[in-house]
Amino acid sequence: MNYDFSYRFPIHGACEVTMTSVLGHLTGIDFPPPFQWGKCVPGRLFDADIVEKVLKQDVYDNIANEAAKAQLLMIWTDCDREGEYIGYEIYTAARKGNHSLEIAAIWRSKFSHLERNHVIAAANNPIGLDMKSVEAVACRQEVDFRVGTSFTRLLTDGLRQHKIIEQKEVASYGTCQFPTLGFIVDRYRRVKSFIPEQFWYLAVEVKHEGVAASFSWVTGHLFDRLYVLILYQQCLEHDQGTITKLDLKRTTNWRPLPLTTVELQKDCSRLFKMSAKNSLAAAEKLYNKGFLSYPRTETDSFPASMDFSGTLQKQAQDSRWGLYASGLVQNGFQTPRNGKYDDKAHPAIHPVNYVDISSLSSPDERKVYEYVVRRFLACCSKDAVGQQTTATLKWGDQFFTASGLVVLEKNYLDIYTYKKWETTKQLPNLTEGQTISISSGRMKDGKTSPPKHMTEPELIALMDANGIGTDATIADHIEKVLSRGYIMKQKQASVEYIIPSDLGMGLIEGLDAMGFDNISLSKPFMRKQLEELLQEIVVGTKTKPEVLGDIKHIYRQAYAVTSRNMAALARSCTDIMART
């Protein structure tokens, strides 16, 4: 759909403007017919020609047709690398209809949110398209395509030949997919190989003025029973202990930071047992309906120009949180905390307009909307305040501690019901230097506990920390390894864990056993290195051909090793299946 209107630009004066939209990338890349599946060995794809293909022909043609009578082209895509590349795709589509449009004359708006004055300022102060960012995205796209396609064909053909997968199945490889799978397999190995160890520790209880308190051993626990027994016997020589230190301090429970995509996905998985893909899908539907801001963002801060009061006031009509929102407006809200990240493209996720959640047909949308609103209200609230008391007890030569907490002001916790901070059991009325009778002193034992299998919030956090995917693609990578049958979800009690399938386990163990030089196909290091090299393209210290050549060389060597060892990889899969 196109929108026509008039606008006065400072440089050109009054102009007739046609505004239209795109839906993500307009084009993609492919191999020409001689390099399609079955027509060449997969290893040739590292150097094969690539061709551009139009993904959304109607959108592409609309831009070309509208550009035919245009004198200027202004790009309003996201102000990040991907948005820069999509802007270049728009330019190439416009050039199809108007060859007089030159890249140097393209206007690029620089904006991060849709507040009116911010948008007008972006329209009045255009910049140029960042071609270095365009080159970086093109490089990443080509690396992912060449590596993913060559390894996918190699693995699929080899596993089909050895009857590990059916002829209709595909064993896909991706530079983000396999590190994602690798995280899950690594955790699974740790759980399965865990051997519990017995340990011993001391526990003390005192009672004063009718109030009992349990003290924990500062040492924690030890694995030498005899040594702990000696310490315990030394302590038993004393029937009293001494309060050596008493700390009484005001403590703060910080309100949450503004919401990013990764945090949204982690919390929805943890709180609502919602997959990353479903939580992002619900948020995008709410965005398309005009209720939430754009939900794909790495930014954990809000722009200084944001109308917080107006946004809060819109929520005042709700029966669940309206009174709280009104109180913030009337009594003075707090400016939200700022995190460390700003992607320069979008602000943190927040409610844009009010909707009664009972009118939303999707349960996921209702949960996501309420969560985003409550989080935003919490961001604009005061931190919770408490008073913490910590007592240190000396019994014999050993030290023990006990703590108590009194919540004085709940503040943001009154509205952010997803987090608990409760008053704990009170300590007795103790004084520093006080001698107190030991009502119970015991030597106890226990066993170390195995790690838990991977949960989706943990996986999202690992992927984010290691640069595997972006805030916008993490959910897609998890969904991909799930749909390929490399992983499965398994519920234990109320917790849903992710574990590898026999095929996923066999692929990772087989690849890890190949002994590649300077590379691992299942670890995040190569992907992280690629992201660092892409940033060098952006800042101008490297070129796309240099980075592309270096990365292709490394993966070509890994491909050769994998190709020679396909039989061993198939045996790895077979062995895993036989063991289970």
Fill in the amino acid letter for 10: P
CA dihedral 247, 250, 256, 258 (to 10 degrees): -120
Q: Across the strands, what pairs with 206?
A: 213, 438
Q: What is the DSSP string of 441-493?
A: EEEEEEEPPPPPPEEHHHHHHHHHHTT-S-TTTHHHHHHHHHHTTSEEEEEET
CA distance linking residue 492 with residue 275, whole number of Å: 16
Measured in Å, how far apart are the chain's first and last C-alpha atoms? 55
Report residue 440: phi and psi, to 5°: -155, 125
278-298 core/surface letters (b: 16 or more CB in 10 A; e: else): bbbbbbebbbeeebbbbbbbb
Closest C-alpha to 415, from 453, 379, 442, 446: 379
Q: Are 535 and 137 in contact (CB under 8 A)?
A: no
Residue 434 CB neighbours (<10 A): 16
Task: Report the alpha-carbon distance of residue 149 to residue 144 in Å, rounded.
Answer: 8
Closest CA to 377 of 349, 411, 415: 415
Task: Name the H helices within 48-130.
Answer: 57-67, 81-97, 116-124
Catalytic residue among 294, 369, 371, 486: 294
Cα–Cα dist 22/62, whole Å: 10
DSSP 3-state of 201:
strand
CB-facing half-sphere around the CA of 319: CA atoms within 13 A: 3
Instruction: Please answer whether residues 341 and 300 qualify as being in contact, where contact means their C-beta atoms are separated by less than 8 angstroms.
Output: yes
Neighbours of 154 (CB within 10 A): 21
354 catalytic per annotation = no
Helices (H), 98-224: 116-124, 131-161, 177-193
| Coil, helix or strand at residue 41 | coil
**C-beta atoms surrounding 566 within 10 Å:** 17
Active site residues: 294
